[in-house]
Structure 1
Amino acid sequence: MKEINRILTIYDQLDHAQRKVALATVVYVEGSAYRRPGARMLVSDDGRWEGAISGGCLEGDALRKARQVMLDGKPMVVRYDTMDDDANSLGVGLGCNGIIDVFIEPIDPADPMNPVALLGEFSQLRDRRVIATICRKTPGLTIKEGSRFVLTEQLTDQVPGWLQQDMELVMEVGKPLTSIIPLIGGMVEVFIERLDPGIELVIFGAGYDTIPLTRLATEIGWRVTVTEDCIAHLAPKRFPEATCLLYADANAVTDKLVFTDRTAAVLMSHNYNYDLAVLTKLLPRDVPYIGVLGPRKRYEKMKAHWERMGHSFSPSILGRVHSPIGLDLGAETPDEIALSILSEVKAFFSQRNGGFLTDRPGPIHERVTFDEEIVII
């Protein structure tokens, strides 16, 4: 989300009466690459760019190609083959051991279906959606390169039948898809990706150690709500990066919040009674991740309290609680603890165990093949 929002900010700052703009998007990766399908770079004809499609190796050449696209007004797919460490056709030794296809297209600000406009709509609505982009086609087909179709979780008849199944598949599994689809009179290559609104962090407690957690979470592009029952702790100058500051009593705060399947709730008030009251209200709510700062015996004390009070929570509900919270990084300072907490939250939503990549067998990024014509990257 952060990269998308930065691209939108730069795009809005441009004078489109004077400047031409292009968007470069990674649409296919074979082997290893620094960025995955869906990585974007916005380029203007004065050489300004925002975003990245690699670790810095491809941007210079993509910038030159983007200028040609803006001049011609026609999109193109550029293939970068970095399999050979000794290949130096781009003037740099890439050594990524991968093949990367980048779709570079001119942006028409007057077209409501241009890619930046669709990203802006997604950023505003914060919904989950799938976007299919026609990257290449055989001559004679009337459909244009750069044509797009959008599928949201709301029913629509705007997606053609020949794309419906693939787009629904990407909506379900979340992995981007590059597919070659036969049509009457030719074939099209389509890049299909799912856009997710990103993680929303709700922090209960506004103490000293909440400040670095808020700062770091917003730095990586998460939306952060900080809530507390002491209004003095919620001074905006303490949390200038927070998306929302909410003053509310522990027994009423959950009724004032909206929880989604991307919400992580973190309790770190250092007030046992406050955390107990909030957690008791949170557990019946559909919050996928709940973290409680403090030693294990503190959470065990809460469970003993529920048992005495006759509260009964199923193992599946209690399984959403992480206490102690965070990955085992040896964190000591508030900033290190913030890193540990955010690392665990990210690992949870990515369905990873948070271990060392050097110990991970196989590729870093999952690759799943569904059939001979559809490859999930």
Structure 2
Amino acid sequence: MKEINRILTVYEQIDHFQRKVALATVVYVEGSAYRRPGARMLVSDDGRWEGAISGGCLEGDALRKARQVMLDGKPMVVRYDTMDDDANSLGVGLGCNGIIDVFLEPIDPTDPTNPIALLSEFSQRRDRRVIATICRRTPGTGLREGSRFVLTEHPTDAVPNWLRQDMELVMQVGKPLTSIIPIPGGIVEVFIERLDPGIELVIFGAGYDTIPLTRLATEIGWRVTVTEDCIAHLAPKRFPEATCLLYADADAVTDKLAFTDQTAAVLMSHNYTYDLAVLTRLLKTEVPYIGMLGPRKRYEKMKNQWERTGCSFDASSLKRVHSPIGLDLGAETPDEIALSILSEIKAFFSQRSGGFLTDRSGPIHDRITTEQNAVFV
């Protein structure tokens, strides 16, 4: 989400009467690569770019080819084969051991359906959507390279039947997919990806250790709300990076917040009574992740207090509570603790264990395939 917003910011700064622009998107990866399908880079004809499609190895060549795309006004797919460092034609040792397809397309600022316009709409609405891009096609399909179809969580008949199943699959699992699909008149190669609004972090408590957590979370592109029942702690100068500062009592705060399936709530006020009241209310919401700073016995004390007062929650509700919060990194300082907390939250929403990658068998990134996958010829 952060990279998309940066691209949109740079795009808005360009004088489109004077400059031409193109968008490079990674649409297929076989083997290893630094960036995954969906990585983007915006390029202007004066050599400026924003975003990245590799670790720096491919950008130079992509810039040259993007200039040709801007001159011709026609999109193209460029394949980079980094399997053999000695044989690669770029003159650098890439070392990725993979095959990477990059879709380069000129941007027409007058076209309301151009990819930048679709990304801007997504950024404004912050919904979950799947975008399918026609990368290549045989003559006679009635489609053009760069045509796009959008599927949101609302019913639509704008997606053709031959594409709907794959788009719904990507909507369900969240992993990008490149498919070769036979349709009347020929075949098409389609890149399908899901765009997610990203993780939203709600921090209850505005103490000293909240500051590095807010700063680090916003640095990686998360939206952050900091809330407290002491307005003096919520001075904007203490949290200049925060998306929202909310002053509210513990008994009313959840009524003033909107939670999604990408919301993480973190309690770190160091005030037992406040945290107990907030946690009691959070467990009555659908927020998927609740983390609490402090020792395990603090949370156990809260559960004992619920039992004494006749307040009960089922096992599935309590499973959402992570206490103590964070991955076991040996964190000591507030900044290190912030890293530990954010690492656990990211692992939770990515459905990963948070262990060492060196101990992981198989590829780092999960992939999905369909029977229609093939090499386009």
TM-score per shorter chain, which class?
Answer: over 0.9
Q: What do the CA deviations read for 1:322-376 (whole angstroms, capped 9, x no partner)?
A: 000000000000000000000000000000010000000111111333325379x
CA contact (8 A) 1:201 1:224 kept: yes
CA distance in 1, matches of 2:283, 2:364: 34
Equivalent residue for 1:192? 192
User: Displacement of 1:318 after TM fit?
Assistant: 0.3
Quote the residue 1:314 is aligned against: 314
Structure 2 counterpart of 1:102, which letter? V
TM-score (normalizing by structure 2):
0.98
State percent identity of aligned pairs: 86
CA contact (8 A) 1:129 1:194 kept: yes
User: Which residue number in structure 2 is paired with residue 48 of structure 1?
Assistant: 48
TM-score normalized by the length of structure 1: 0.98
CA distance in 1, matches of 2:122, 2:369: 28
Q: Which letter does structure 2 place at the counterpart of 1:319?
A: K
Give the 3-state SS of the residue equivalent to 1:259 in structure 2.
coil
CA–CA distance in 2 between the matches of 1:183 and 1:243? 46
One-letter amino acid of the structure 2 residue matched with residue 116 of structure 1: I
Contact 1:177 1:374 in 2 (8 A): no
What SS does the corresponding residue of 1:84 show, helix, strand or coil?
coil
Deviation at 1:284, TM superposition (A): 1.1
CA-to-partner distance for each residue in 1:206-244, whole Å, 9 max, x for gaps?
Answer: 000000000000000000000000000000000000000
C-alpha contact (below 8 Å) 1:131/1:148 kept by paired residues: yes
Equivalent in the alignment of 1:155: 155
Deviation of 1:185 (Å): 1.7
The aligned residue for residue 303 of structure 1 is 303
Q: Which amino acid aligns with 1:291?
A: G
- The answer to whether structure 1 residue 275 and structure 2 residue 238 are counterparts is no
Please state whether the residue corresponding to 1:168 is helix, strand or coil: helix
Answering whether residue 354 of structure 2 is matched by residue 343 of structure 1, we say: no
In 2, the alpha carbon distance for the partners of 1:253 and 1:2 equals 28
Q: Distance in 2 between matches of 1:374 and 1:221?
A: 35
Q: Distance in 1 between matches of 2:211 and 2:161?
A: 50
Once the two structures are superposed, what CA deviation does each residue of 1:74-95 show, in whole Å capped at 9, x if it has no partner? 0000000000122241021001
2:328 matched residue in structure 1: 328
Distance 1:77 1:289 in 2: 40
Q: Quick check: 1:249 aligned with 2:286?
A: no
CA RMSD of aligned residues (A): 1.0
* Alpha-carbon distance in structure 2 between the residues aligned to 1:374 and 1:62: 24
Q: Shift in Å at residue 10 of structure 1?
A: 0.2
Shift of 1:163: 1.0
Tell me the distance in 1 between the aligned counterparts of 2:264 and 2:335: 19
8 A contact 1:276–1:302 mirrored in 2: yes
Q: Which runs of 5+ in 1 are unaligned?
A: none
- Kindly state the Cα deviation for residue 127 of structure 1 after the two structures are TM-superposed: 0.2
SS in 1 for 2:261: coil
1:291-318 per-residue CA deviation (whole Å, 9 max, x = no partner) reads 0000000000000000001011001100
Secondary structure of 1:203's aligned partner: strand
Alignment of 1:19-38 (within 5 A): 19-38=19-38
| Contact 1:87–1:93 (Cα < 8 Å) also in 2 | no
Q: 1:213 corresponds to which residue? A: 213
Regions of 4+ moved over 2 Å: 139-142, 367-375
Q: Is the 8 A contact 2:180 2:372 kept in 1?
A: no
Contact 2:198 2:222 in 1 (8 A): yes
| Paired position in structure 2 for 1:165 | 165
134-143 vs 317-326, greater mean Cα deviation = 134-143
Equivalent-residue separation in structure 1 for 2:220 and 2:101 (angstroms): 26
CA distance in 1, matches of 2:124, 2:354: 31
Which piece of structure 1 moves more, 251-260 or 364-373? 364-373
- Aligned equivalent of 1:120: 120
Q: 1:144: Cα distance to partner? A: 0.6
Aligned partners of 2:130 and 2:30: how far apart in 1?
22
Give how far 1:172 is off. Answer: 0.8
Instruction: Return the alpha-carbon distance in structure 2 between the equivalents of residues 278 and 87 of structure 1.
Output: 60
Q: Which residue identity does 1:293 align to in structure 2?
A: L
Equivalent position of 1:183 in the other structure: 183
Instruction: Work out the CA distance in 2 between the residues paired with 1:294 and 1:223.
Output: 24
In structure 2, what is the Cα distance between the partners aligned to 1:327 and 1:374?
40
CA gap of 1:188–1:339, structure 2 versus 1, over 3 A, is same
Determine helix, strand or coil for the equivalent of 2:305.
helix
Unaligned ranges ≥5, structure 2: none
Q: Please give the per-residue CA displacement for 1:247-295, whole angstroms capped at 9, x wherever unaligned.
A: 0000000000000000000000000000000000000100100000000
Instruction: Give the distance between the partners of 1:52 and 1:310, measured in 2 at CA.
Output: 55
1: distance between equivalents of 2:296 and 2:250? 22
Question: Could you tell me which amino acid in structure 1 is paired with residue 296 of structure 2?
Answer: R
Name the amino acid aligned to 2:322: H
CA distance in 1, matches of 2:172, 2:291: 27
Q: State the distance in 1 between where 2:190 and 2:136 align.
A: 7
**Number of residue-to-residue matches in the alignment:** 375
TM-fit CA distance, 1:139: 2.2
Q: Distance in 1 between matches of 2:339 and 2:374?
A: 38
Give the partner amino acid of 1:252: A
Q: Report the Cα distance in structure 2 between the residues aligned to 1:249 and 1:224, rounded to whole angstroms.
A: 19
Shift of 1:165: 1.1
Q: Residue 108 of structure 1: SS of its match in structure 2? A: coil
